[in-house]
C-alpha cells in the first residue's frame, strides 16, 4: 500500500502541479509508474499465495511474469541512468539545459528506457523455458527468477548462464557505469562552486536519486554476487524481497521527504 499510494501521489503531483512540469519531475513521474508496474508483477501473486496457500502457477503464466520482471528491471536500470544524466546536465551545463533536455529528447529517453530491453528479455525468457524441467516442479523462491528456475532443469545451463551475464553487463553494468560517471562530473563541478550554500543546493537536487541508486544497485549486487551454496535458499529469498519490495517502499518516501518542491506540491 505504501508503494502504490506513495508512487501514485508522486505521479499525481508531477501532473497537476505546474511547478513540477520540468524534465526532472517528468522522469520522476515515469520512475514512479515503473515502480508500481514492477511491484505489480511479483507482490500480488506473493500475497495471494500467503493468504490462500494455493501456490501453484501455470507454466505459461510463470514465463509471462518472469518476462515482465526482467523487462521492468532493465527499464529501472536505464531510467535511473537517464535521471543521473538529467542531473549532470542541470548542474554541469545549466545554460544549455533547456536546449539539451528538450521535450522531444525527454520523450525519446523515456521510450528507449521502457522498450530497449523488451526483445532481448523475451528471447531470454523463451530460451529459459525451452529447457526440459524434469527435476522438480517446486520452485524454492518467493517469485519467479532466473537462478531458482535454472535449478529445476535437468540439462546443461552453462550457455544460458553466460547469456544472462552478457545481458546483465549490457543492461545493468553499463547504466551503472554511466551513473557513476555522471556523479563524478557532478561532484567535481560542485566542488568548484564558490560558496558552501551553492554546494549544498546543487547536491541536494540529486541526493535523493543517489540514495535510490545505492539501495537498488547495492541490494541487487549483493543478491547476485553472493557465492551460491545448497543452504543459501532462505537468504536468497530474503535478499530478493529486499530489492524487489523493501527498496520500493523506501523510494517514494525518499523522493517526497527529501524534495522541497514535491512537499510543497503535496501541500
pLDDT digits (tens, 9 = 90+) for 84-134: 999 999 888 888 999 999 999 999 999 999 998 899 888 888 888 888 877
Whole-angstrom Cα distance, residue 71 to residue 87?
25
Determine the Cα angle at 252 with ends 92 and 260, to 5°.
55
Q: Is the predicted pLDDT of residue 227 greater than 70, yes or no?
A: no
DSSP 96: G
Comparing CA positions, the residue from 219, 226, 225 lying closest to residue 241 is: 219
Q: What is the pLDDT of residue 199?
A: 56
Residues sharing a CB contact under 8 Å with residue 234, sequence separation 6 or more, in sequence order: none
Q: pLDDT tens across 145-178, in order?
A: 787 788 788 777 788 888 888 888 788 888 999 9
Q: What is the pLDDT of residue 173?
A: 87
Whole-angstrom Cα distance, residue 109 to residue 71?
16
> Domain coordinates of the chain in residue numbers?
2-266
The CATH number fitting domain 2-266, selected from 1.10.1040.10, 1.20.1070.10, 3.40.50.300, 1.10.3720.10: 1.20.1070.10
Q: Is the predicted pLDDT of residue 231 greater than 50, yes or no?
A: no
- Average pLDDT of 63-84? 91
Amino acid at each position: 500500500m505504501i508503494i502504490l499510494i506513495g508512487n501514485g501521489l508522486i505521479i499525481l503531483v508531477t501532473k497537476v502541479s505546474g511547478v513540477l512540469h520540468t524534465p526532472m519531475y517528468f522522469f520522476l513521474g515515469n520512475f514512479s509508474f515503473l515502480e508500481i508496474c514492477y511491484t505489480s508483477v511479483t507482490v500480488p501473486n506473493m500475497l495471494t499465495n500467503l493468504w490462500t496457500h494455493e501456490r501453484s502457477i501455470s507454466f505459461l503464466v510463470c514465463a509471462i511474469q518472469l518476462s515482465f520482471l526482467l523487462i521492468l528491471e532493465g527499464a529501472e536500470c536505464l531510467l535511473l541512468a537517464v535521471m543521473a544524466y538529467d542531473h549532470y546536465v542541470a548542474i554541469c551545463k545549466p545554460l544549455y539545459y533547456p536546449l539539451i533536455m528538450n521535450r522531444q529528447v525527454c520523450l525519446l529517453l523515456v521510450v528507449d528506457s521502457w522498450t530497449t530491453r523488451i526483445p532481448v528479455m523475451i528471447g531470454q525468457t523463451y530460451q529459459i523455458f525451452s529447457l526440459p524441467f524434469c527435476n522438480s516442479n517446486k520452485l524454492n523462491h518467493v517469485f519467479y527468477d532466473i537462478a531458482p528456475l535454472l535449478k529445476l532443469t535437468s540439462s546443461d545451463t552453462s550457455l544460458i548462464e553466460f547469456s544472462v551475464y552478457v545481458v546483465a553487463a549490457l543492461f545493468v553494468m553499463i547504466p551503472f557505469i554511466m551513473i557513476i560517471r555522471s556523479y563524478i562530473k557532478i561532484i567535481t563541478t560542485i566542488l568548484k562552486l564558490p560558496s558552501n550554500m551553492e554546494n549544498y543546493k546543487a547536491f541536494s537536487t540529486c541526493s535523493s536519486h543517489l540514495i535510490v541508486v545505492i539501495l537498488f544497485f547495492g541490494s541487487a549486487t549483493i543478491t547476485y554476487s553472493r557465492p551460491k551454496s545448497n543452504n543459501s535458499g532462505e537468504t536468497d529469498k530474503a535478499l530478493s524481497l529486499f530489492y524487489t519490495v523493501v527498496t520500493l517502499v523506501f523510494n517514494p518516501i525518499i523522493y517526497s521527504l527529501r524534495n522541497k518542491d514535491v512537499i510543497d506540491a503535496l501541500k
